[in-house]
Amino acid sequence: MGVIDDNDIKLNGKLLAGIIKSLEIKGSAIVEELEVEGKGKKPIQATGFEDSSINLDLILLDDINGKTKEEKLQSIQDIFKTKNQKVPNIYNVVNKYINQRGIYKVIVKDFSSKLANNKSEIAVTLTFREYEAVTIKASKKSNKTGSNSKNNSKKSNTINYDNQDWLNYLNGDRGLAPSNVSQGRSDPFKNSPVSPYFGVKGKK
């Protein structure tokens, strides 16, 4: 393959140093085999596409009255990873061939370099990976359960059985309710020290 002008690739608007020897782009479909009972050969089903990969081979040379090959190597190293960097950078890539394949954002997945025997040039191989941002929307959780339980809690607390005599009455022999109580009349023993339900008031 013929040598391509090294000004043809830009990452975030900055020219990539070096002479491009080869540029290869590989795309793949995602294919899964299906389990079908009674069939010896497994049928396949296409489910999508893998992110494309870009393999780039560069040659770094000293420029006359310009950058050295070591300086160019350092600039590529900084593109791949700087000191103390934890996460790969995302780059907007501008190149006619790459953009024709529908690729506009990449990360540098692999980076290798090799010094020639005569030390006059450095061979660099870069592997880019197509990058597509994934947006995850957080859905609001329903508070119905919490609100219901809260309401239920309130309802359950509206009646407090703190009176031990009342509990004893509920658990014991209640007898028959007086006719005046069943008819909604006032309790004639309300102000009496003796109650027909609890015995002497104030005593358990």
Spell out the domain ranges in the chain: 6-34+43-130, 162-204
- Sign of dihedral through CA atoms 151, 153, 155, 157? negative
> What is the reported pLDDT for 107?
96
Q: Which fold has domain 6-34+43-130?
A: Elongation Factor Tu (Ef-tu); domain 3 (2.40.30)
pLDDT at 189: 55
Instruction: State the pLDDT at residue 34.
Output: 81
Rounded to two decimals, the pTM is: 0.59
Distance in angstroms (rounded) separating the CA atoms of residues 197 and 182: 15
Token pair 């893998």 is at which residue? 50
DSSP state letter for 21: E
- Round to whole Å and give the CA distance between 5 and 101: 19
pLDDT (0 to 100) of residue 41: 76
pLDDT of residue 181: 45
Amino acid 130: pLDDT: 95
Helix and strand numbers, DSSP H then E, in the chain: 5, 11
- The low-confidence residues of the chain, meaning pLDDT below 70, are 1-7, 39, 133-204
| pLDDT tens digit sequence for 68-110 | 999 999 999 999 999 999 999 999 999 999 999 999 999 999 9
Count other C-beta atoms under 10 Å from residue 104's C-beta.
15
Q: Residue 65's Cα: distance from chain center in Å?
A: 49
Q: What pLDDT score does 168 carry?
A: 58
Q: 54 has which bridge partners?
A: 25, 128
